[in-house]
């Protein structure tokens, strides 16, 4: 059973405890991912789940004056100007090494829907591109490599299929491997963690449903966690978090070494920023029960939790 496997994993880890040093680094891989919610000049979204080959050929990575990174394309409809939203291009890596400096474990954190095989192999079960990410790292360095999904709510791979799955995974894995070579590690760390329960509002039901069933929409209750490993912070968020929500947390957290892991311990649907509900599109419309304001609640609760663990460190330094 799942419970036995979790307990068994904890037991294996306990028996394999050893002295290690850890460190982190960041790379970038913007060219393989794009935001699937392009907007027209009226600010309305036209979903672009995939782009055809002739559109992929127009790909360009741009950095806005405010620092946001966007992968842009020229869509076939030349009468309308489409603006592609931001992505999180960061490939964040965590290196865990033994006293001899050899990797015993690593973590790669990157934000892109693992849907490379969809729709060509839509009935298959696949680890998709993350399997190639971890395979590249483990094949070169050994140890165990874990993949943690980043800000992927509206971020998708620029190409689909069996070959692109391998190419994207190797590109991210290659960037991770490159960054893992130049990590400064330390064994002088303190480990701490905090969590908080959060209530997210849900959309009002149709008036006739409420009248017939006398039902009042209940909030979705989930949890946000933060783990601190010395100077490294790992924020765990429930649900499929849109890039815009996560980037706001990163900008305001004031942390150089912040990993954001989505779909962490819960799947509550798409977590959208307020503007997305007015822009329209797949995520805020039919793909989530969360109401407008849920993304902002996640942002503020995350920042409050990060602030608490930072304050805790000041009162109890490493």
- List, as one string, the DSSP characters of 48-74: -S---HHHHTT-EEEE-TTS-EEEE--
In sequence order, what are the beta bridge partners of 273? none
Q: Which two tokens stand for residue 103?
A: 């990797």
Binned at pLDDT 50, 70 and 90, residue 124 comes out as confident
Residue 19 above 60 pLDDT? yes
Residue 122 above 90 pLDDT? no
User: Average pLDDT, stretch 260-288?
Assistant: 96
More confident residue, 84 or 213: 84
Residue 299 above 90 pLDDT? yes
In sequence order, what are the beta bridge partners of 241? 271
What is the spatial distance between Cα 126 and Cα 280, in angstroms, rounded to a whole number?
30
pLDDT, one tens digit per residue, over 38-48 is 999 999 999 99
What pTM was computed for the model? 0.93
What is the residue extent of each domain of the chain? 18-188, 189-318
pLDDT, one tens digit per residue, over 130-181 is 999 999 999 999 999 999 999 999 999 999 999 999 999 999 999 999 999 9
User: Average pLDDT, stretch 59-70?
Assistant: 95
* Structure confidence at residue 214 (pLDDT): 58
Mean of per-residue pLDDT scores for the chain: 93
What single DSSP character describes residue 32? G
In terms of Cα–Cα distance, which of 60, 88, 56 is closest to 72? 60
pLDDT, one tens digit per residue, over 236-257 is 999 999 999 999 999 999 999 9
* Structure confidence at residue 166 (pLDDT): 96
In terms of Cα–Cα distance, which of 110, 117, 112 is closest to 160? 117
Binned at pLDDT 50, 70 and 90, residue 203 comes out as very high
Q: Which two tokens stand for residue 304?
A: 């409050």
Q: In what order do the strands lie in the sheet with 191-200?
A: 191-200, 220-229, 232-236, 258-261
The answer to whether the peptide bond before residue 119 is cis (omega within 30 degrees of 0) is: yes
User: Average pLDDT, stretch 274-292?
Assistant: 95
């Amino acid at each position: 059973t799942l419970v036995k496997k979790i307990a068994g994993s904890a037991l294996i880890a306990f028996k394999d405890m050893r002295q290690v040093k850890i460190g982190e680094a960041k790379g970038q891989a913007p060219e393989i991912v794009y935001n699937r919610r392009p907007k027209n000049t009226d600010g309305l979204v036209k979903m672009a789940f995939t782009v055809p080959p002739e559109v992929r050929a127009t790909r360009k990575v741009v950095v806005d004056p405010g620092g946001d990174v966007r992968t842009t394309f020229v869509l076939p409809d030349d009468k309308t100007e489409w603006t592609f939203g931001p992505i999180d291009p960061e490939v964040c890596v965590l290196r865990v090494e033994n006293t001899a400096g050899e990797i015993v474990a690593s973590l790669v954190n990157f934000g892109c829907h693992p849907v490379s095989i969809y729709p060509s192999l839509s009935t298959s079960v696949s680890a998709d591109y993350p399997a190639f990410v971890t395979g590249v790292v483990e094949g070169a360095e050994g140890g165990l490599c874990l993949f943690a999904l980043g800000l992927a709510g509206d971020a998708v791979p620029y190409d689909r299929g069996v070959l692109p799955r391998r190419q994207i995974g190797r590109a991210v894995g290659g960037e991770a491997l490159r960054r893992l070579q130049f990590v400064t590690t330390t064994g002088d760390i303190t480990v701490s963690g905090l969590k908080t329960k959060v209530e997210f509002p849900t959309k009002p039901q149709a008036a006739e449903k409420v009248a017939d069933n006398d039902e009042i929409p209940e909030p979705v209750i989930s949890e946000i966690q933060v783990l601190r490993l010395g100077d490294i912070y790992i924020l765990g968020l429930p649900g499929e978090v849109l890039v815009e929500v996560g980037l706001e947390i990163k900008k305001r957290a004031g942390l150089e070494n912040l990993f954001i892991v989505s779909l962490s311990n819960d799947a509550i649907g798409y977590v959208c920023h307020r503007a997305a509900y007015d822009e329209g599109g797949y995520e805020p419309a039919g793909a989530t029960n969360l109401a407008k304001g849920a993304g902002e609640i996640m942002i503020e609760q995350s920042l409050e939790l990060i602030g608490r663990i930072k304050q805790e460190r000041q009162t109890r330094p490493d």
